[in-house]
Chains A and B, each alone.
Chain A
Amino acid sequence: MSEAGVPGPVVAEEEVTSPGGGRRMVLNMGPQHPSTHGVLRLLIELDGETVVKCDLDIGYLHTGIEKEFEAKTYQQAVTLTDRVDYLAPLSNNLGYCLAVEKLLGMEIPPQAQWMRVMLTELTRLNSHLVWLGTHALDIGAMSVFLYCFREREDILRIFEMFSGQRMMTSYFRIGGLALEPPRGWHQRVKKFIDVFPSRVDEYENLLTNNRIWIGRTRGTGVISLEDMLDLGVTGPMLRAAGLKVDARKDAPYSSYEKFNFVVPTRTENDVYARYQVRVEEMRQSARMVQQALEGMPTGPWKADDPHVVLPDREKMKTQMEALIYHFKIVTEGFRVPEGEVYQVIESPRGELGYYAVSDGTTQPYRVHMRTPSFGNLQATSKMVEGTLIADVIASIGSMDFVLGDTDR
């Protein structure tokens, strides 16, 4: 089978005899399974309904993006970052841009920084909405999905307004933003964010005191904090276990230190607690968007660095140097000083780290993405072993992974 490119032996629903004499079944879940949200393959060894062993097989969505980075100029590579975590494209844009800007030692004007925070928080809402909708759908609450996607549609329309794209926005560029914020963006975002908290109330109405929801989620998917830290879990899962760790507070970037928000935590450390943490995060993100609307600084939306940032259209038509810079940046890119950085941001899923190495040329020498889904998924086996097969869906749903983010 290995010649056909199928990793490992195919053991779909074949029965094996365990040393104890009892009959065990190996169940092949995925790679095409509705509740894995992508192409994840789980090999689950069952004793009755109890999971004895769970092996993960990833890599079905490996696209070699890290190799692709090395063949693009720094600016071109922004478009690759969207495609890593396709539910949080702007978080990835931000992580990559911040890493390269750190290599360049570049200052970003306040308006661009605030705009980045606002849009990244909208991305967090977008990602959490998809998570909540699909997670509830897996557990059997179908209507929540429709409610969540109603608001997600509004967010995608806002992204479209800014960048012309609903998902693969690439709106952040090295040095600031890709385009001037569109006319009327303020009213549009305000209209959305004014009603959004009441929409979160609607989701909570459907779920928080729902007996079936509580029955399926409370006490499910428990894994000790020590195990999570040791296995590389980050983000809302750690916060649902009571550890207050959030890169936006611990190592603020893009002027997050100017925003007033709370990092929600719970201590129950089960699927329900993760739900509560993410719902509260949605409320906090909405607060931040509200603050960004009220306090948005005025001024330029891209850095004043003609070697790196494309000149204004108007200048190109009137100034010789601007035209030359434009030609140079578009044809060969810009040089980035030698060095290496590891830029960490808090993506909706956890710690997103961009390790960028420059050799002084116009193309990245190496870009490594430390993606939260990859780290979180490693804890799956530990989390589901010893639980019931029906809880596997709830447990892996609570991790909120994206397979594009895992396999890159």
Chain B
Amino acid sequence: MLPDNLREHAVAAAIEAFDANALTGGKYDREELTLEVAPGRIVSVCGFLKHDQRFVRLSSVTAVDRYPAEPRFEVVYHLHSIERNERVRLKCRLRGADPVIESVTPVWRSANWYEREVFDLFGIRFLNHPDLRRIMLPDSWEGHPLRKDYPVTGSRV
């Protein structure tokens, strides 16, 4: 459900009208709009935003690890509409055990490398991704360095 204070934002209201179950929360903080999307609806919401709301650009896809809290991972999408000169942040929360979400590569091809990076550094899997393998680290690397339980220093013995 969309929080009442976000109804004045055209993007939030449009998503709510498109799919009443898509939004699970959100906030407007420091002049930036964040919308929380149910992980199962991310592709349809992104498709709607791109084709109906003119968010032609996917600026970035990244993740935040909230370890040890649950749901542990936040997958964060920054969208940009050049026409409306507007940006919006979408967020999906995933549980720590086997984090997996649908890929948005069918909507924006640029998601390819961003999602590979998130897969590489956070270990979040993207379903229907055309080429899901490590991008920064060698294929033989163990672990996912940007997870909070991955040590900053030290060496394997």
Contacts and interface: CB of A to CB of B under 8 A. Distances in A.
A303 interface: no
Contacts of A187: none
A232 interface: yes
Interface residues of A, number: 45
A341 B44 CA distance: 25
Contacts of A404: none
B64 interface: yes
A243 B113 CA distance: 24
B33 to A, nearest CB: 11
Nearest to A371: B60
Nearest to A63: B136
Given A58-B136, A245-B82, A339 B29 contact: yes
B124 interface: no
A351 B59 contact: yes
B24 interface: no
B140 A3 contact: yes
A142 interface: no
Report which residue of A250, A366, A374 has the largest number of chain B beta carbons within 10 angstroms of its beta carbon: A366
Interface residues of B, number: 36
A71 B152 contact: yes
Given A64-B145, A67-B152, A71-B152, A229 B57 contact: yes
Interface string A90-122: 000000000000110100000000000000000
Interface stretch (B9-17, B94-102, B104-112): B104-112
A115 B115 CA distance: 37
Contacts of B64: 357, 365-366
B53 interface: no
A378 interface: yes
B87 to A, nearest CB: 7
A360 B121 CA distance: 24
B89 A342 contact: yes
B140 A5 contact: yes
B110 A378 contact: yes
Interface string B54-73: 00111110101100000000
A62 B137 contact: yes
B76 interface: yes
A67 B146 contact: yes
B139 A8 contact: yes
A231 B140 contact: no
B110 A232 contact: yes
Report which residue of B29, B109, B114, B134 has the largest number of chain A beta carbons within 10 angstroms of its beta carbon: B109
A209 B136 CA distance: 41
Contacts of A48: none
A335 interface: no
A408 to B, nearest CB: 8
A2 interface: yes
A70 interface: yes
B82 A243 contact: yes
Interface string B135-157: 11111100001100010100000
Nearest to B50: A230
B103 interface: no
Contacts of A231: 109-110
B110 A375 contact: yes
Contact of A355 (B62, B108, B136, B137): B62
Interface in A342-393: 342, 344, 351, 353, 355, 357, 365-366, 368, 370, 374-375, 377-378
Contacts of A250: 82, 85
A243 B112 CA distance: 23
A342 B85 contact: no
Given A353-B78, A370-B59, 8 more contacts: A67-B145, A67-B150, A232-B57, A339-B30, A340-B29, A344-B59, A355-B78, A378-B109
9 contacts: A70-B152, A71-B152, A232-B57, A251-B85, A342-B87, A344-B87, A368-B62, A375-B110, A378-B109
